[in-house]
Amino acid sequence: MTAHHHSKWLAVLLAAAALGSTAQAQDGAWDVVLNGRSVHINAAHQWNEENWGIGVEREFNGDGRWVKVALANGFKDSADHPSYMAGGGMKRRFRMFSNHAYFDVGVIGFVMTREDVRHNQPFPGLLPAMTFGTKRVAVNVTYLPESAVDRVTNAQLVDPNMKGVFFIQLKLDASLFGFGGRRQHLLANSDNAQ
């Protein structure tokens, strides 16, 4: 895949996340997602665990019990190749410490590309996910069980010792970077109240 093709895929995925979130724009908040780490449990093979990349996530009904998310990102996969994904999910939110911190548990459905899966042809997936943190800074963790690794990648157990993979992302409120985050949403609400 050429660099032009990679940038085209990333633009399409980011646009898909943005379009999927416009229906409830007044109810959502943008986050910047920094991909960074994976942990291949009990792996014998030396996989790439530095999965650097960037993406966006938009949360809906963040004050409710059930939180919907739309997301898109690009990152280096476990084989050290560029990979792209976009999707959405539903998580149950549990609040802690007077609503300043939370813990979410749910599922993320997505469409993804990988060079080692049908030569970058998009494929669907559904994985368990959790998030913990605050409105400004949180950590996303997704788990891919060993059986799904083999089924999705059609790898015929390239690493038969591996018991699954955890993917870890840092989620930052976009207002920390000066755009599209909760601060603008909160300012708009305070202006309406006056």
Whether residue 89 contacts residue 108, with contact meaning beta carbons closer than 8 Å, is answered with yes
At residue 128, the pLDDT reads 95
Q: Burial level of 36, CB count in 10 A (0-12/13-18/19+)? A: middle
- CA–CA dist 73, 82 (Å, integer): 11
Give the per-residue pLDDT at 111: 93
Residue found by looking up tokens 């998009």 in the block: 122
Residue 11 is predicted with a pLDDT of: 52
Which residues face 114 on adjacent strands?
A: 117
Terminal alpha carbon distance of the chain: 53
* DSSP, res 174: G
Cα gap 70→59, rounded to integer Å = 7
Per-residue confidence in pLDDT tens, the chain, 194 aa: 455 455 555 555 555 544 444 433 445 678 999 998 999 998 888 888 999 999 999 999 888 899 999 999 999 988 889 999 999 999 999 998 777 899 999 999 999 998 877 788 898 889 999 999 998 999 999 998 876 665 665 544 467 778 889 999 999 999 888 876 554 444 444 444 44
